[in-house]
Amino acid sequence: MKDLKDILVLSGLRARILLIVACLVCYAGSLCNDYALDDDFAFYANQYVQKGFSGIPDILTHPYYTSSTLTFDYRPVASVTFAVEKELFGNNPHISHGINLALYIIAVLLLLGVLTEVIGLGLAPAFITALIFAVHPAHTEIVASIKNREELLSFIFCMLAFFTVHRFFGQKKLTGWLLYGMLTIACLLLSFASKLTSIPVIVIFAAMLYMQRRYRSARQFYPLFAAIALVSLSYLVVILRMSNRPVYDLENPLVSYPGDISAKIGTTAMALLFYFRFMWVPHPFSFFYGYNTIPVVHLGDPVAMLSIMLHLGLFIYGVILFFRKNLTGLFILSYFFAIALYSNILIPYTGIVSERALFFPGLWFIGAIVHWCYERLYGKAVSVMLRNGALALLAIVITAYGVLDMDRVAQWHDTITLMSSDIPHLDNSTLANYFYGCVLKNNAEAQTDTAGYRRYMRPSKEAFYRVNTLSPTYPYGYFRLGLIYRYDEYNGDSAFYYFNKAYEYNKEQTDIRYQYGRTQYEFGDMRRAADVFAALYKDLPTDTFTVFYHALLQLKLHNMQEGKRAADEFMRMAPGYYQSHFNMGIYYELSGDADNAAREYQRSVDLGCTDQLVYNYLIDYYSTHGREQDADRYRRLRQ
């Protein structure tokens, strides 16, 4: 009876052509897409990438991302490609998407080679594994998100490391061993420097090398693996010490259960069940998960116990097959090694789960299913009808996955289309609704017509209301509503309410403190506003408007010495701002120096001040001095 390879008239070249076509059919739509989601801090808003070639030294000597409170790990490889791309093509999302698609095709072709040449699969099962991997909808984010080029490069260098380690054992001389040993370590380090996604490959290498006699019996086995483990783990320790990326409870609620082993095991089981289900039925998609999308459950929860039994049984089955030297066992164990990073059992994972987390683990999951099925269909006498039925089912799955791919790629057109498609089934995700509200708010503020403004701002406010309902003590939903009412809709009462709520739940965040202090001043509570800005001034002594309000409030409260000192400081910082002269006018007015007060107030008006009290002062001043023409000027401005 014919093998699948013969049925498909499959050759190595034909297999590669078919894989390329499959990738193009599923993902070519991404070439029309714009930037989306995290592409800003990775590319077009990244200060080092935007320098082009001249930014590469900074990329190589700085963490991947740094803010006032966060430091990500070290991922220079993708950023270097972005810098080169920026230098050659500028900020062109279509070029970026084209490069991502090309890298994905390379990754899939390398995978086929690894499966056949290194792991030892026949061409037919290797092709089916690579084909399902290529079209699996869990990978749409990897291709369609420019930022996730780091995942692609990590995977590519990891596949190259499989080839170099394979070549290592084919060498007969010390020079060959040294060359391919160093190439293996170099490829692994480049993979980790792209993203640490592939770090489990250290254990997978050990399992693969141990399982196959041709590797295990070689005297180079233990020195090579020891070198790989030593260099890789040393790199990992150094990089993780560089990172300062805490996980917050709204990203992963497990951080609120420190030391609770029952919650950790139960929730890990739920996360693993999510991944298992998504590998079979990749729908619906979500741009973010986080709090309450995967529930925190304890050991004993019925669904968690079902997941534990399923995964424990699968792991034991994998161990048995592994020691029987069956490749299905290697694939199963490799899946567990790879998914452990994202299961929450080791550390809480940002977002609690994600679709892109399945990129590297998904390879081994698919490999296990394909190899297991292939052995039973083509490793023994099976009816032609059953084999044809399996082929028909495979065709249906590939077609269904392809349709899902194309639809999801279209949803990734930009951030709005992506979030709008996902938010209906993210009712329980605080941060998903918060991110969605922020994006809508930015789009509303960019509109030039009232209808366009309302089209985006109405759902933006609804998203923030939803945030406040889901997480009543989360300050930023209130804060964003305060900004909308204060600066977009000029509703002072609502702004006052929401800034007060934000401050109630976070008295440390500087933006919240600033807006809270400002609204307290505007609503007449000078003393409270002065206290807020005095404390804020200590934390932000070079922030111009913090200095302005600190000076203003000290003067209003007749703390003349501190007020004048701060007003002078603000004048040095921003001499061209009307606020500088406004503060000086207040100082001279309170000091009884009417001439200098009028002079400073007049300068402030000339620079854009529209304060009615300033107009009134100047009208009275010029009227008193018989300069009615000047007084009339300010009467007209007051109107």
Q: What is the pLDDT of residues 581-629, one digit of tens each?
A: 999 999 999 999 999 999 999 999 999 999 899 999 999 999 998 888 8
Report helix, strand and coil shares of the chain as percent, to nearest 5: 75, 0, 25
pLDDT at 69: 67
Supply 57's token pair. 């030294």
The pTM of this model reads: 0.89
pLDDT at 4: 60
- Taking Cα atoms as reference points, which of 332, 324, 323, 287 lies closest to residue 144? 287
- Taking Cα atoms as reference points, which of 306, 370, 309 lies closest to residue 112? 370
pLDDT at 238: 82
pLDDT at 532: 95
Supply 212's token pair. 């196959």
- The H or E element containing residue 513 is helix 510-522
Alpha carbon of residue 83 to chain centroid: 19
Length of the chain equals 639
| Type of residue numbered 324 | R
CATH number of 429-506: 1.25.40
pLDDT at 1: 44
Q: What is the DSSP letter of 349?
A: P
pLDDT < 70 stretches in the chain: 1-10, 67-69, 213-218
> How open is the CA angle 106-110-113, to the nearest 5 degrees?
145
> How open is the CA angle 291-292-295, to the nearest 5 degrees?
120
Give the separation between CA 267 and CA 616, rounded to whole angstroms.
Answer: 65
Residues of the chain with CATH 1.25.40: 429-506
> How open is the CA angle 143-133-342, to the nearest 5 degrees?
75
